[in-house]
Amino acid sequence: MNSVVIGDCVATAVNVLLPEITGATDCVVDMVDAKKKLDKDLFAWFLKNNKTKMQFSDIRAVSHKYKLQREKELAWPSHIDNCINLAVTGETFQGMHNKIKDHVAENGKPGLVLITDFSESHRCVVVHSHGEQYVVKRDLNLLDADQGTWPQDVYQKFVGKVKQQELFGQRYQKRKHKKSFDMLIRFLESNDISYKFLLFRKDNKYITRKYEDMTEYNDSYLDAAGREISSKKLLAQELIASHVKNTFIAQ
């Protein structure tokens, strides 16, 4: 069966290479800290693995992208045959909806869509600019950090809308997430596409009653403060893949 994964960093194994990059085998750090503080070690690691000369400004962007690519190659979807992984860090249900629509239009219907939940701090806003529609998303904690994905004026509109929406409070965000999830599911069901919603975070149980409980895997690599232990997260990838293959793919 061919399958497609849409989701956030829980399906991209983000930060599992931190022990290799930093030299700290017991590395415990969250995604935000890693992105803000990692530059020096990341640059050295990147240059060790890539001999092509480039400007410092290029290294900053390319090294982060290279890290994400290498980690995604280690993520649990990579251990599943005929599986396309469309997950990205900072994803939301709006972004997933947009991605799977484009994928189906270009490649036809997959045999199964695997949907993951995402961190509470992820935000997404649709921005209309330059005669185009942009589905812009990012983690709240990184709003003011550099980005190279969207045109800068589009991104600034996104930031302004996000900050405005934050004034409405957490209940508003939960309603928005649930509404976006329902729209995604309606698209899949109206196109007769099989799907499974894999829930990794207990706090997201409000989204729907119809989910596959994957929280034990997420909990297995968290410390008492809820931070990810990179080495344990890496070990969990094959276990997650095995469970997904045996429980959902083999059906």
The three-state secondary structure class of 247 is helix
Considering only 119-128, 143-152, 201-210, 233-242, which range has the smallest mean pLDDT?
143-152
Q: Across the strands, what pairs with 28?
A: 229
- The answer to whether the predicted template modeling score (pTM) of the entire model surpasses 0.75 is yes
Query: Which structure tokens are listed for 76?
Result: 């649990």
CB atoms within 10 A of CB 197: 20
The pLDDT, as a whole number, for residue 41 is: 84
Dihedral Cα 159, 164, 167, 173, nearest 10 deg:
-70
- The CATH number corresponding to 3-12+76-221+229-249 among 3.40.1000, 3.40.190, 3.40.50, 3.30.70 equals 3.40.50
**Interval 179-186 mean pLDDT:** 97
d(CA 100, CA 84): 11
% of the chain at pLDDT higher than 70: 94
What interhelical angle do 170-190 and 93-107 show, nearest 10? 20
pLDDT at 51 over 60: yes
Residue 24: φ, ψ to 5°:
-100, 110
Query: Which structure tokens are listed for 209?
Result: 């009653």
Region class of 63: left (phi > 0), else alpha (psi between -120 and 50), else beta? alpha
**Interval 7-34 mean pLDDT:** 82
3-state helix/strand/coil string of 28-78: ECCHHHHHHHCHHHHHHHHHHHCCCCCCHHHHHHHHHHHHHHHHHCCCHHH
d(CA 46, CA 21): 9
Q: Report the length, in residues, of the chain.
A: 251
Q: Residue 170 contacts by C-beta under 8 Å, 6 or more apart in sequence?
A: none
**Interval 1-26 mean pLDDT:** 91
Residue 38 pLDDT grade (very low, low, confident, very high; cuts 50, 70, 90): confident
pLDDT at 33 over 70: no
Domain layout of the chain by residue ranges? 3-12+76-221+229-249
Q: Hunting for tokens 């709006």 — which residue is that?
A: 94
Is residue 27 within 8 Å of 227, Cβ to Cβ? no
pLDDT at 181 over 60: yes
Query: Which structure tokens are listed for 66?
Result: 């290279």
pLDDT at 153 over 60: yes
pLDDT per residue over 163-178, tens digit each?
A: 999 999 999 999 999 9
Residue 54 pLDDT grade (very low, low, confident, very high; cuts 50, 70, 90): low
Residue 251 pLDDT grade (very low, low, confident, very high; cuts 50, 70, 90): low
Q: Residue 126 contacts by C-beta under 8 Å, 6 or more apart in sequence?
A: 94, 133, 134, 135, 136
d(CA 13, CA 21): 15
pLDDT per residue over 188-214, tens digit each?
A: 999 999 999 999 999 999 999 999 999
Residue 187 pLDDT grade (very low, low, confident, very high; cuts 50, 70, 90): very high
